[in-house]
């Protein structure tokens, strides 16, 4: 430092801090050899506190306002120093400004899933993240515990420690709450309040105040979420048996509509399927048929508790056919009649059904002989 700078610093008697940053918590006032003149002007702005340290020990603390440094407003420093050279003599002291505003939107989150015991799922792993806000509550405690003689102390110097406190105490509070994992999303406010209450004492030990603690999300690992999605889908479907029948009926109908799936045989199959579906629909309408005594079909004195028609016929024997060297089927008796009429099935066609050891000609099966008697004989002379 040059001679001019030294002389200029001797006449500096205004002590203040204009904070241009957004993350500085503590800033040390730069003073040549830390010499402060008695009678100097101290300006402490709103949201600040000025701390005088004597040999590393907190002496006097000034709240927002403008002060002329005298023995009246510096009782501790005056007692320590004695001022044997007069009240206007310089004294050595470290002057720190402490930012008292809130530092908001500080992120916290679990680095890895935390293992918890859930009353519904048993042992599970959860991830959680959110944000919190804090501010300096006790200047003296904060200076002693964290700052000491550090010239500049920023949010970055402490956020890692605060995040660890938030995660450790926070997940412990979630476990103690006994709230089922699936209900946590609807209780974020309640859980946040529990966590804030639990970790407040840890912040107090550092001279800080936890002003806000928020949970943004609590989630399962990806594989657990996929399993829950499947479980939710099953719940939406409801009756799985009815859903499976509906899916099977759609698949068979689409197969019958596809000409490439078997040509004439596919058409015969589609016809049989259509007849079967019509029969099923007929049964449904019969169960809900109207009569003269109950034209609405909804209930009342004229409503019948039993079906109007007979129950459906039992399933007939299904046969497989060997057509052009390929197996086709199975076909019921009604479908086989259609195939006989269009010439696809004849007496020499090989057939098989359950109970037969080998394929045999159709006219050797007693169940099928009646089908061929329906075919008229050839016209004479043609």
Across residues 117-121, what is the average pLDDT?
A: 79
Window from 48-52, 141-145, 362-366 with minimum mean pLDDT: 362-366
Indicate whether 332 pLDDT > 60: yes
- Distance, in Å, from the CA atom of 16 to the CA atom of 8, rounded to the nearest integer, reads 17
φ, ψ for residue 236, nearest 5 deg? -70, -40
Question: What pLDDT digit, counting tens, does each position of 245-294 carry?
Answer: 766 777 776 776 665 555 444 444 444 444 454 455 445 444 544 444 44
Select from 81, 99, 117 the last residue of a domain: 99
- Give a yes or no: residue 290 inside a domain: no
Residue 184 confidence (pLDDT): 84
Select from 70, 99, 128 the last residue of a domain: 99
Across residues 300-311, what is the average pLDDT?
A: 51
Its sign, for the CA torsion 85, 89, 92, 95, is: positive
Give the helix/strand (H/E) hosting 111.
Answer: none
Question: What pLDDT digit, counting tens, does each position of 82-107 carry?
Answer: 655 555 556 778 899 999 999 999 99
- Distance, in Å, from the CA atom of 49 to the CA atom of 26, rounded to the nearest integer, reads 10
- Give a yes or no: residue 196 inside a domain: yes
Same domain, 107 and 93: no
The range of the structural domain enclosing residue 28 comes to 3-99
Please tell me whether residue 16 adopts helix, strand or coil conformation. Answer: coil
Provide the number of structural domains found in the chain. 3
φ, ψ for residue 184, nearest 5 deg? -65, -40
Same domain, 16 and 147: no
Same domain, 134 and 198: yes
Same domain, 49 and 133: no
Across residues 350-357, what is the average pLDDT?
A: 87
Indicate whether 186 pLDDT > 60: yes
How much helix, strand and coil, in percent to the nearest 5, is found in the chain? 40, 25, 35
Edge-to-edge strands of the sheet including 14-15?
14-15, 41-44, 65-68
The angle, 0 to 180 degrees and rounded to 10, between the axes of the packed helices 222-237 and 240-257 is 80
- Give a yes or no: residue 294 inside a domain: no
Question: Which tokens hold the place of 2?
Answer: 């040059």
Question: What's the chain's length in residues?
Answer: 382
Same domain, 212 and 254: no
Same domain, 253 and 218: no
Question: What pLDDT digit, counting tens, does each position of 19-76 carry?
Answer: 888 899 999 998 766 678 778 899 999 999 999 988 778 889 999 999 988 877 787 7
- Give a yes or no: residue 73 inside a domain: yes
Across residues 319-329, what is the average pLDDT?
A: 88
- Distance, in Å, from the CA atom of 314 to the CA atom of 269, rounded to the nearest integer, reads 19
Same domain, 273 and 375: yes
Select from 158, 191, 224 the last residue of a domain: 224
pTM over 0.75: no
- Distance, in Å, from the CA atom of 47 to the CA atom of 65, rounded to the nearest integer, reads 11
């Amino acid at each position: 430092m040059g001679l001019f700078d030294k002389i200029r610093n001797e006449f500096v008697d205004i002590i203040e801090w204009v904070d241009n940053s957004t993350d500085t918590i503590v800033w040390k006032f730069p003073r040549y050899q830390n010499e402060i003149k008695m009678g100097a002007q101290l300006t402490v702005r709103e949201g600040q506190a000025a701390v005088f340290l004597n040999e590393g020990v907190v002496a006097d603390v000034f709240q927002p306002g403008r002060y002329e440094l005298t023995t009246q407003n510096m009782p501790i420093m005056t007692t320590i120093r004695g001022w044997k050279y007069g009240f206007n003599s310089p004294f050595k002291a470290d002057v720190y400004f402490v930012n008292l505003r809130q530092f908001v939107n500080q992120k916290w989150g679990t680095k890895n899933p935390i293992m918890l015991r859930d009353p519904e799922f048993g042992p599970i792993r959860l991830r959680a993240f959110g944000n919190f806000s804090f501010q300096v509550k006790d200047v003296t405690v904060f200076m002693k515990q964290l700052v000491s003689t550090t010239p500049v102390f920023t949010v970055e110097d402490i956020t890692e420690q605060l995040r660890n406190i938030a995660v450790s105490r926070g997940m412990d509070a979630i476990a103690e709450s006994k709230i089922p994992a699936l209900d946590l999303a609807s209780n974020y406010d309640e859980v946040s309040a529990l966590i804030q209450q639990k970790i407040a004492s840890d912040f107090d030990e550092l001279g800080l105040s936890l002003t806000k603690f928020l949970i943004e999300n609590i989630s399962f690992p990806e594989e657990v979420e996929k399993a829950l999605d499947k479980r939710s889908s099953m719940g939406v479907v409801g009756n799985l048996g009815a859903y499976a029948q509906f899916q099977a009926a759609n698949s068979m109908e689409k197969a019958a509509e596809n000409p490439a799936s078997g040509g004439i045989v596919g058409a015969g199959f589609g016809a049989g399927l259509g007849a079967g579906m019509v029969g099923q629909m007929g049964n449904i309408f019969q169960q809900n048929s109207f009569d003269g005594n109950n034209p609405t079909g909804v209930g009342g004195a004229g409503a019948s508790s039993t079906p109007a028609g007979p129950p459906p016929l039992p399933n007939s024997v299904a046969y497989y056919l060997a057509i052009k060297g390929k197996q086709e089927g199975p076909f019921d008796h009604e479908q086989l009649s259609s195939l006989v009429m269009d010439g696809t099935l004849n007496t020499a066609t090989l057939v098989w059904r359950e109970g037969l050891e080998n394929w045999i000609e159709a006219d050797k099966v007693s169940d099928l002989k009646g089908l061929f008697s329906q075919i008229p004989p050839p016209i004479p002379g043609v």
